[in-house]
Amino acid sequence: MQGKFVLQKEQTTHACRCSCIRIEVYNKMGMKMDALFMGLVLILGLSSLASAVPGTATYYTPPYKPSSCYGYDEQGVMIAAASDAIWNNRAACGRMYRVTCVSGTNNVPQPCRGGSVTVKVVDYCPPGCQGTIDLSQEAFAIIGNPDAGKINIDYVQV
């Protein structure tokens, strides 16, 4: 008798809400051996958590046009200007970042509002920029108290 493999996808209730793959392995004697492997989704999910980068965020106010990346083309209000830390000679244009407030940088009470915001890089924040990423006023207000002006963040490209 030859060995055989049976693949079966299962839904799990792990905290990561990922799918697992059960591989049933039958040896030459026909005996079943089970092995449970976390799917690629888990690996990718953990790697994205590990790749969050600490930084700071500030905000800028309208008008948001023209922008360094898109000129006068409308890009909405969930946008950001990138500092030299992520600008990379315009390579950051169009990149999406998920930004999460982690703490304040001054004594403003309750600087973080919880949650995250996803923004598109549309502009450049020139040297002297006070943050790693300069969010639109609307994006900043979702995750932070505008009175804080500057917040500590974690950000990850999505």
Beta bridge partners of 56: 152
Q: What is the pLDDT of residue 41?
A: 38
Q: Dump pLDDT digits (tens) for 24-65.
A: 555 555 555 444 433 443 444 444 455 899 999 999 999 999
Q: Give the per-residue pLDDT at 77.
A: 98
pLDDT band with cut points at 50, 70 and 90 for residue 139:
very high
* Residue range(s) defining the domain that contains residue 122: 52-157
Confidence of residue 2 (pLDDT cuts 50, 70, 90): low
The string of pLDDT tens digits covering residues 80-136 is 999 999 999 999 999 999 999 999 999 999 999 999 999 999 999 988 888 999 999
- 90 and 132: one domain? yes
Together in a domain, 41 and 93: no
Are residues 100 and 45 part of one domain? no
- Residues 22 and 56 both lie in one domain: no
- Asked whether residue 59 falls in the same domain as residue 103, the answer is yes
pLDDT of residue 127: 85
My answer on whether 72 and 147 are in the same domain is yes
Q: What is the mean pLDDT of residues 61-86?
A: 97
- Encoded tokens for 100: 């999460």
Domain containing residue 62: CATH number: 2.40.40.10
For the residues of 43-112, what is the DSSP string, one character each? Answer: HHHHHHHHT-EEEEEEEE-S---SBTTTBT----SSEEEE-HHHHTTTTTTT-EEEEEEEEESSS-SS-B
Looking at the structure of the chain, the number of domains it has is: 2
